[in-house]
Amino acid sequence: MPKSIWNGTISFGLAHVPIKLYSATESKTVSFREVHLSDGAPIEHRRICSKEGKEIPYKEVVKGFEVAEDEYVVLEKDEVKAAAGARGKVIEIEEFVPGDEIDPIFVEKTYFVGCRDDGDAYKVFREALEQTGRVGIGRFTFHDREYLAAVRPLDGVLALHTLRFHDEIIDPGDLDVTIPRKGPSQREVKMAEQLVESLHEKFDATDHEDTYREAVLDLIDRKAKGKKIERPEFEEREETDDLVAALQASLKGGKS
Amino acid sequence: MPRPLWNGSLSFGLVNVPVQLTGATRDLDLHFRQLHKKDGAPIEQRRYCSQDEVEVQWEEVGRGFELDNGKQVVLTDEELASVQPEKTRTIDVQAFVDVDDVDPIYFDNTWFLVPAGDSQGTRRAYRLLVEVMESTERAALGRFVMRTKEYLVLVRPRDGLLSLTTMRFHDEVRPTDGIAPGGRKPAKDKIEQAVAVIESLGADWDPERYTDCYRERLKRVVKQKQKGEKVKAPSEPKQPEPAPDLMEALQATLERMGSSKGNGKSASKGGRKKAAAKS
C-alpha cells in the first residue's frame, strides 16, 4: 500500500467524500548525484550570502520578489501562506463538465484518490461520475498553493489531475508560422492517409519501454567494468522536396 | 517567435519534414529569489566538495551512480552523451494511434512543432501531415531525444499546427492496487441521486472561466508589502465532517439547487444536456 500525501475531503453540493491522495506517477529516469571528479566525494550545495560570503542556515532565508533590478520586496514564509487561501483541506467541486472536452494539454500532474472511511460515499461518487461521463472541476490547496483540479474515474479508482490555467496555454495564433495557403492535392492526401492507415496500431503503453534508461544503465555497467566510452557520429537526413515521390516510395514499403 | 528549443526533423515513411520545437505552455507563476533576512542580499548556491571543503566549479562535477555492491561509478557528461541514440535530430514516427486511446495520465509536457527552413516542399508536407491527422483523428507516436533524455512522444494537430507531447513510460505510472475501497457496489438509488446532483451542476468546459486566484493573491501580497503594509497569514479552517447520511446530503443538495434555479451560473450555462459518455 503506497503512502498517502494528502488527507482531505471532496465536496460537491452538500455531500462530502473523505479522501486521501496518492502520487500516480514516479520518474524512473536514472538519477545521478553530483560528485567531485578529482576524488569522487559527494558535492554539497551551500547557501552563501552574496554580501558576506558566509554560509546561511535555512531559517535566515526569506523570499524576495524582484520589482526592479536588484530591488526586492521581501516576503516571510507566513506571508506567502496568506496567498494560499483559507480553503482548508477541501476540494470543492464547482461544476461537472464532459470529460472529453478537456484537452490533455491542460493536465499537469496526476494523483490517485483513495478513501479515508468505509468508502461508501467514494463508491457512489465514482460510479455516478462513470455513468455521466463527466469530470468534477474544483480547486484545492496543496503545499501552500491553490490548484485547479479535475476529478475523474480511471481504472477502477478516482484520479485527480491538477490543471494549467487558460493563460498558461499558448495560442498558436501568437506564433509567427507561415503555412502554405494552397492545400495538398487529393492524391497526396489519399497517399498520406494510406500511409497513416498502414502504420496504425492500438495504443498500449506497455509496448513502449524506456530504452534510453536501459542504455544509461548499460553505460554504467560498461564503465564499472573499466571499458572505454566513445561518442558515435551521426548522419544528417535529407529533407523532403518531392512530396509525391516520397509518399509513393514509403507506400512501397521503403523505410528511411 | 522565441528561440527554438530543438531543431530537427519529423519523419514518417520516407517523408522528412524539418521542424523546430517551441513552447505550447508558459509558466506564469511568480518566482522568488532567496535572500538573507539580515541584509537582504541574494543567496547563492555554491558547490562544495564534502571531503576537502573547497568550492567546486561546474567543470569539476561528475555524475555518481551507486552500484548494488556499494561501489560508485563516476561518469562525465561527455560519456553520458555517448548513449544518445541516432534519433537525436529526428522524430521517427513508429505508428499512428487513436488519440482517445492515450490517457492524459501519460502526458508530460507539450510543445509546438513548427515547420523550419524555407523550402515550399517541406511546408506542404507539414500541412499535409496536419490535415491527414485531423481527418483521421490519429496521432503519431515516436521517440526523440532532447538534452540528454529520450522521450516517447505523441504528435497531434492543434489549431492547424502540430503539437508534440512528451509521455511517461508505463512503468512510471503507479499501480492502483489497494487504493479503491472494496466491498459491494453501492445501492442503485444512491447512485441515481448522485447522478442527478452531478447533472444539475453540469456545465461545458470553458477554461477561461478559471483564473489563477493564487497568482492574483500573491501579487496582491507583494504590492501590500511594497507599500509597507502588514500581511497576516490566515488560520487553518476546519475540515467539514462527512455527512452522516449521504442520501440526505444529496437530496438536500438537489432541493437547494431547485430553489435557486436561474441564479446558479452552472444551471444557467446550458450544461444540463447529457454528455456523450466516452466509450
Cα B143 from Cα B95, distance rounded (Å): 11
Q: Do B60 and A37 touch (CB under 8 A)?
A: yes
Cα A170 from Cα B111, distance rounded (Å): 9
**Mean pLDDT across B220-239:** 79
Which of A69 and B274 is assigned the larger pLDDT?
A69
Residues of A in contact with B195 (CB under 8 A): 128, 131-132
Q: How far is B6 from chain A (nearest CA, A)?
A: 15
Q: What is the pLDDT of residues B13-25, one digit of tens each?
A: 878 889 999 999 9
**Mean pLDDT across A92-120:** 93
Q: At what angle do helices A243-251 and A186-198 cross, to 10 degrees?
A: 30
Pick A90's closest partner by Cβ from B90, B173, B239: B239
Q: What is the CATH number of the domain that holds A152?
A: 2.40.290.10
Fill in the amino acid letter for A104. P
Which phi and psi (to 5°) does residue B26 adopt? -130, 150
Q: Does A92 touch chain B (CB under 8 A)?
A: no
* pLDDT band (50, 70, 90) for residue B235: low
**Are B102 and B154 a contacting pair, CB within 8 Å?**
yes
Q: What is the pLDDT of residues A140-174, one digit of tens each?
A: 988 888 899 999 999 899 999 999 999 999 998 88
Residue range(s) defining the domain that contains residue A225 = 186-231+242-251
Q: Does A226 touch chain B (CB under 8 A)?
A: no
- B183: nearest Cα among A128, A155, A114, A119: A119
- Tell me what pLDDT residue B78 has: 86
Q: What is the pLDDT of residues A178-213, one digit of tens each?
A: 787 788 889 989 999 999 999 999 999 999 999 888
Q: Is the pLDDT of residue A236 over 80?
A: no
Fill in the amino acid letter for B237. P
**Are A150 and A136 a contacting pair, CB within 8 Å?**
yes
Q: What is the pLDDT of residues B136-181, one digit of tens each?
A: 999 999 998 887 688 999 999 998 999 999 999 999 999 999 898 8
Cα A128 from Cα B199, distance rounded (Å): 10
Give the residue from A108, A134, A140 with the most B CB atoms within 10 Å of its CB, the best one to mutate: A134
- List, in order, residues 6 or more apart from B229 with CB less than 8 Å away: none
Instruction: Establish if A46 belongs to a structural domain.
Output: no
Q: Does A105 touch chain B (CB under 8 A)?
A: yes
* pLDDT band (50, 70, 90) for residue B262: very low
Alpha-carbon B244 to chain mean position? 37
Q: Are A13 and A125 in a shared domain?
A: yes
Q: Do B122 and A240 touch (CB under 8 A)?
A: yes
Q: Does A109 touch chain B (CB under 8 A)?
A: no
Quote the mean pLDDT of chain A: 89
Q: Are A100 and A11 in a shared domain?
A: yes
* pLDDT band (50, 70, 90) for residue B64: very high
Q: Do B201 and A56 touch (CB under 8 A)?
A: no
Q: Does A11 touch chain B (CB under 8 A)?
A: yes
Task: Give the range among A214-228, A233-247, B188-202 with minimum mean pLDDT.
Answer: A233-247
Which of A62 and A177 is assigned the larger pLDDT?
A62
- Tell me what pLDDT residue A117 has: 86
Cα A251 from Cα A193, distance rounded (Å): 10
Which phi and psi (to 5°) does residue B175 adopt? -70, 155
- Tell me what pLDDT residue A21 has: 96
- Tell me what pLDDT residue B274 has: 40
Q: Do B181 and A127 touch (CB under 8 A)?
A: no
Candidate CATH numbers 1.20.120.160, 2.40.290.10, 1.10.540.10, 2.60.40.10; the one for domain B6-25+83-171: 2.40.290.10
- Tell me what pLDDT residue A86 has: 66
Q: How far is B4 from chain A (nearest CA, A)?
A: 12
Pick B105's closest partner by Cβ from A11, A128, A154: A154
Quote the mean pLDDT of chain B: 85
- The residue written with cell numbers 470543492 in the block is A92
Which of B88 and B29 is assigned the larger pLDDT?
B29
Q: Are A118 and A215 in a shared domain?
A: no
Q: Closest residue of B to A200, CA-based?
A: B96
The domains of chain B are located at: 6-25+83-171
Q: Does A244 touch chain B (CB under 8 A)?
A: no
Q: Is the pLDDT of residue B135 over 60?
A: yes
Cα A170 from Cα A177, distance rounded (Å): 14
Instruction: Establish if A151 belongs to a structural domain.
Output: yes
* pLDDT band (50, 70, 90) for residue B238: low
**Mean pLDDT across A214-238:** 81
- Tell me what pLDDT residue B237 has: 64
User: Quick one: cell of B253?
Assistant: 443538495
Task: Give the range among B21-25, B219-223, B270-274 with minimum mean pLDDT.
Answer: B270-274
**Are B141 and B93 a contacting pair, CB within 8 Å?**
yes
What is the widest separation between alpha-carbon atoms in chain B? 74
Interface confidence (ipTM) of the complex? 0.86
Q: Closest residue of A to B231, CA-based?
A: A79
Q: Where are the alpha helices (DSSP H) in B57-187?
A: 77-81, 120-136
Residues of B in contact with A237 (CB under 8 A): 9, 11, 16, 89-90
Q: Is the pLDDT of residue A80 over 80?
A: yes
- Tell me what pLDDT residue A123 has: 95
**pTM as predicted:** 0.86
Q: Is the pLDDT of residue B88 over 80?
A: no
**Are B221 and A83 a contacting pair, CB within 8 Å?**
yes
Q: Are A17 and A131 in a shared domain?
A: yes
- Tell me what pLDDT residue B267 has: 40
Interface of A with B in 169-208 (CB under 8 A): 169-173, 175-180, 182-184, 188-189, 192-193, 195-197, 199-203, 205-206, 208
3-class SS of residue A150: strand
DSSP string, B150-171: EEEEEEEEETTEEEEEEE--GG
Q: How far is A247 from chain B (nearest CA, A)?
A: 7
- List, in order, residues 6 or more apart from B36 with CB less than 8 Å away: A49, A51, A52, A56, A60, A61, A62, B42, B43
CB atoms within 10 A of CB A141: 20
Instruction: Establish if A22 belongs to a structural domain.
Output: yes
- Tell me what pLDDT residue B277 has: 39
- Tell me what pLDDT residue A148 has: 96
Q: How far is A63 from chain B (nearest CA, A)?
A: 5
- Tell me what pLDDT residue B246 has: 83
Q: Is the pLDDT of residue B74 over 50?
A: yes
Q: Is the pLDDT of residue B215 over 70?
A: yes
Q: Are A156 and A213 in a shared domain?
A: no
Instruction: Establish if A34 belongs to a structural domain.
Output: no
Q: Is the pLDDT of residue A238 over 90?
A: no
Q: Are A17 and A134 in a shared domain?
A: yes
Pick A72's closest partner by Cβ from B33, B62, B253: B33
Q: At what angle do helices B120-136 and A186-198 cross, to 10 degrees?
A: 60
Cα B20 from Cα B3, distance rounded (Å): 9
- Tell me what pLDDT residue A226 has: 87
Counted domains in chain A: 2
- Tell me what pLDDT residue B75 has: 93
Strand-strand pairing, B61-66 and B72-75: antiparallel
**Are B2 and B20 a contacting pair, CB within 8 Å?**
no
Return the bridge partners of B166, or none: B153
Whole-number Cα distances in Å, B16 to A29, A189, A247, B110? 29, 16, 10, 21
* pLDDT band (50, 70, 90) for residue A233: low
**Mean pLDDT across A209-232:** 86
